[in-house]
Structure 1
């Protein structure tokens, strides 16, 4: 069995089987995707993020490196996507959704289970959790502002940013950890239970969302967005870790994690803010399907080019 087929069967296929289960479930029973999304957004994801920050045993150097690489890559892709959108003559709303779909990736309900299955190492999962937190900080600031600015004033866009709860959850967890506060088990145990349920619900919700997406094969912007998201993004991450002299597990997780498809949150915010939701949905669908091949190539490249 080749490395490609081994990785596909043992890492990629399990993820897509759960995604497919979510699609089948929604097709058969027409589940309430908005309720599942709210469950993730307000309970499961905050619990998982809080617990990962609070229990993280990563050194401050690793946390700083992971955060720096993630944010640098995101800012680089935002700048690149803005230039491309301007060159292609997109309207303000089209430009904003193109930038977000190219930049923001499925760091939670795709990358997190991917890293867990691929490395089977709590350190790798903790690193991905840091990537997830850095990504969420960027999304719920830059991403929300970009999506809001598609059809709103800068002031209204800023207000939407300040409404996002995850920013405050992450800040609170960091304060609790740095202050050495010991959380009693009756509070910590429910957080662990909710964290354990996050992965399954996230993948099922992704499948349900994708099952309702209509695909337009003639839209070249979708393929360009997917190319930036799936190929350019991990390439930029590899360039950054190389320039910073980062290698080993940290570098591999960063490169692989940043090769994930477009985040479902891009769709949710586009729907909520009425900003090109159809393009956003198609971008998630297209990039997720294509990632079945590209993420395997990124994994192979990361293991081949980055020293252990």
Structure 2
């Protein structure tokens, strides 16, 4: 119990405080969530993605192992959630929303600070989390956009939206500049530093604003659906990650970092996609809210079991 409370206090509480500040700000001043989301989506998130990929030493071996883990893990998650949506016979829009709520998890504004706290700013585990964040930034901006639009829009429209996403350009640019050792001008480096430093705090507060902007009461009609999404994300997620690292024969810090990265709640991107494309926004918001609240316990349990 002492270990559990220590992890809860040192690893989870700092994140929860910033989320709570966002909730209080929204309840007091009614902030514009779309403006905050655009700042995170088009400015702060690409900036920290560029900074971490350009400035973090990532070996090809580490890159290959993490990407292979991610592919296998996502395949297992997708297979599980697809079985659930078919068994429950969801309509197309709800199928998309359920997939997004399970497959897209908060690897950035929750995962990065959690990794730094859980592993005491270890640069190796941060490299692992950066690669997971890279993939979790790329997938919602490509597959996620397709997923919520496939049943109601043509491919040309979907492709146009996908090509407008900044992350799909920032990732290859940062990787190419690092690989070819292209120096970043001091002025540009300073600007990127300022923007990336604003990411974690702003993103967590934005998440709090979104949570404070919606009803906290779960509708009875969607209670079973929200419970299913949260169970698949917070319980099945870490279990499937543990199965994946076991199948790959991974041990030590890498295995622990990958399992912790999979234990975080549903990503805000699922809500942004739901709102932007009018695809089950109430369900998406409730899933983020409930998974974020319950993750304060489940994440601490996962870290305690790993002894991170």
CA-atom RMSD, angstroms? 1.5
- Which has the larger displacement, 24-33 or 134-143? 134-143
How far is 1:75 from its partner? 2.6
Counterpart CA distance in 1 for 2:179 and 2:297 is 41
- Listed as ranges, the matches of 1:230-245 within 5 Å are 230-245=234-249
- Listed as ranges, the matches of 1:1-308 within 5 Å are 2-120=2-120, 121-214=122-215, 215-216=217-218, 218=220, 219-303=223-307
- Which has the larger displacement, 224-233 or 57-66? 57-66
How far is 1:189 from its partner? 1.8
Q: Which runs of 5+ in 2 are unaligned?
A: none
Taking structure 1 as the reference length, the TM-score comes to: 0.94
Counterpart CA distance in 2 for 1:158 and 1:222 is 30
Q: What is the DSSP-based 3-state SS (H/G/I as helix, E as strand, rest coil) of the residue aligned with 1:101?
A: helix
Which structure has more relative contact order (CA 8 Å, sep 6+)? It is: 2
Deviation sequence 1:76-98 (CA, Å, 0-9, x none): 21222122111101100011101
How far is 1:110 from its partner? 0.7
Counterpart CA distance in 2 for 1:267 and 1:238 is 27
**Matched length:** 304
Q: What is the DSSP-based 3-state SS (H/G/I as helix, E as strand, rest coil) of the residue aligned with 1:298?
A: helix
Counterpart CA distance in 2 for 1:216 and 1:249 is 38
Q: What is the DSSP-based 3-state SS (H/G/I as helix, E as strand, rest coil) of the residue aligned with 1:238?
A: helix
How far is 1:207 from its partner? 0.5
Deviation sequence 1:230-259 (CA, Å, 0-9, x none): 111111111111111112211111100111
Taking structure 2 as the reference length, the TM-score comes to: 0.94
- Which has the larger displacement, 208-217 or 234-243? 208-217
Counterpart CA distance in 2 for 1:270 and 1:129 is 25
Deviation sequence 1:86-142 (CA, Å, 0-9, x none): 110110001110111011101111111111111122332222111100112222222
Aligned residues of 1:74 and 1:104 also touching (Cα < 8 A): no
